[in-house]
Homo-oligomer: A and B are copies of this chain.
Amino acid sequence: MTVTIKDLAEKVGVSVTTISRVLNNRGYLSNHLKERVQEAIVELNYQPNEIARSLSRKKSNIIGLIIPDISHPFFSELTKYIEYYAYEHGYKVLLCNSLLNRAKEKEYIDLLKASQVDGIIMGSQTISVEDFELINLPVITIDRKISDEIPYICSDNYEGGRVATQLLIGKECKKIAHISGNLQLNLLAKKRHEAFMEQVVQHGVEYVVVETDINGFDLKDYERLVHKLFNDHPDIDGVFASSDVIAMQVVNECHRLGFQIPNQVKIVGYDGIAQGYNRNYMISTIEQPIKEMGKIAVENLIKQILAKNPPAETILPIKLLERETT
């Protein structure tokens, strides 16, 4: 039932090659011919078959996107832009949520390879470096440096950590907590932690650090973590949270405990997602240029696909958004 270029060819009275040519606009073709083909296309309601194209060209124009969880606002916003720019460049996006499950992440990589994607953007990264290097496909990494071969994109984590911590110190916080992402994953976000440490030590400020679980981030876990933190250290008067989602939990806990923000406790988050749909409480935060990150991720991946070398490292500037929690 499906109409193919063969049918078009018969209809117009030329060969399939010619049809293929006008479809791809290759070589010289008379306008008359073009018109007749166009007519036949609408008449027969022809739809090109990308699968056949992909097989023949050995290029699918699909990019795979592996992230931990699309429902996390940072990733949903990043994904929005990745999809947007991919589409602009003629690429489609296959979405994979690893849920930070190492096995699932590996399965997805195989799935994407089997699906002949032209490249992968990795926002999830629990697998080992060795597994990573087996991918053998154009890859761009978000927020993790795997090796010198694989280009990565991140925001200026060190500077973000420094600015956030200095903000709290500058506001005379005496005991500052840092709620960090998991440090074993060796993400570049770890630099936020490093910067935090340097600042508090340098200024002689009392501090406490807790980190989130390695096996994924569940909101309930965040809640428990924050609850325990304030339980163990009721005298905390400053918190640097490594994401806005966590910062919001801190806000909630403070509400619950009756702590005034920012009088008694000052809070600064990270990500800047509080700009999008998820803005609600005016938390102070370090804004990552999410849109830009998505754009460059796509562009650099495509460069790689086209065998032009993209920069190995892209560090984008962050911005302090000071609002009501500091």
A249 to chain B, nearest CB (A): 8
Distance of A95 Cα from B294 Cα, bound (Å):
15
A255 to chain B, nearest CB (A): 8
Given that A60-B51, A95-B83 are contacting pairs, would A279 and B116 also be in contact in the complex, using a CB cutoff of 8 Å?
no
Query: Interface size on A (CB < 8 Å)?
Result: 48
Distance of A87 Cα from B99 Cα, bound (Å):
13
Given that A71-B76, A80-B71 are contacting pairs, would A248 and B95 also be in contact in the complex, using a CB cutoff of 8 Å?
no
Contact with B along A259-273 (1 / 0, CB 8 A): 000000000000000
Please indicate which of the listed interface residues A49, A52, A278 has the most CB atoms of chain B within 10 Å of its own CB: A278
Cross-chain contact A95 with B97 (CB below 8 angstroms): no
Given that A73-B76, A80-B69, A94-B94 are contacting pairs, would A248 and B51 also be in contact in the complex, using a CB cutoff of 8 Å?
no
Distance of A282 Cα from B125 Cα, bound (Å):
32
CB of A77 closer than 8 Å to a CB of B: yes
Q: Which residues of B contact A235 (CB under 8 A)?
A: none
Given that A80-B97, A114-B47 are contacting pairs, would A276 and B219 also be in contact in the complex, using a CB cutoff of 8 Å?
yes
Cross-chain contact A115 with B71 (CB below 8 angstroms): no
Q: B73, B83, B95, B116: which contacts A51 (Cβ < 8 A)? A: B116
Distance of A71 Cα from B83 Cα, bound (Å):
11
Q: B52, B97, B278: which contacts A73 (Cβ < 8 A)? A: B278
Q: B51, B71, B80, B282: which contacts A277 (Cβ < 8 A)? A: B71
Q: Which residues of B contact A73 (CB under 8 A)?
A: 71, 73, 76, 277-278
Cross-chain contact A92 with B111 (CB below 8 angstroms): yes
Closest residue on chain B to residue A69 by CB atoms: B80
Given that A92-B94, A92-B111, A95-B83 are contacting pairs, would A70 and B70 also be in contact in the complex, using a CB cutoff of 8 Å?
yes
CB of A110 closer than 8 Å to a CB of B: yes
Closest residue on chain B to residue A218 by CB atoms: B277
Given that A51-B115, A55-B51, A276-B219 are contacting pairs, would A84 and B97 also be in contact in the complex, using a CB cutoff of 8 Å?
yes
CB of A50 closer than 8 Å to a CB of B: yes
Distance of A47 Cα from B248 Cα, bound (Å):
44
Q: B49, B93, B251, B277: which contacts A280 (Cβ < 8 A)? A: B251
Q: B48, B62, B80, B96: which contacts A70 (Cβ < 8 A)? A: B80
Q: Which residues of B contact A52 (CB under 8 A)?
A: 55
Q: Which residues of B contact A94 (CB under 8 A)?
A: 62, 92-95
Q: Which residues of B contact A60 (CB under 8 A)?
A: 51
Given that A51-B116, A94-B93 are contacting pairs, would A278 and B278 also be in contact in the complex, using a CB cutoff of 8 Å?
yes
Could you write out 12 A-B pairs with CB less than 8 Å apart? Answer: A47-B110, A50-B115, A50-B116, A51-B51, A70-B83, A73-B277, A92-B94, A92-B111, A219-B277, A219-B279, A252-B282, A280-B280
Starting from the known contacts A71-B276, A280-B281, 7 additional A-B residue pairs (CB-CB under 8 Å) come to A51-B55, A71-B73, A71-B77, A79-B95, A94-B95, A219-B277, A280-B280
- A-side residues, CB < 8 A to B, are 47-52, 54-55, 60, 62, 65, 69-73, 76-77, 79-80, 83-84, 87, 92-97, 110-111, 113-116, 219, 245, 248-249, 251-252, 276-282
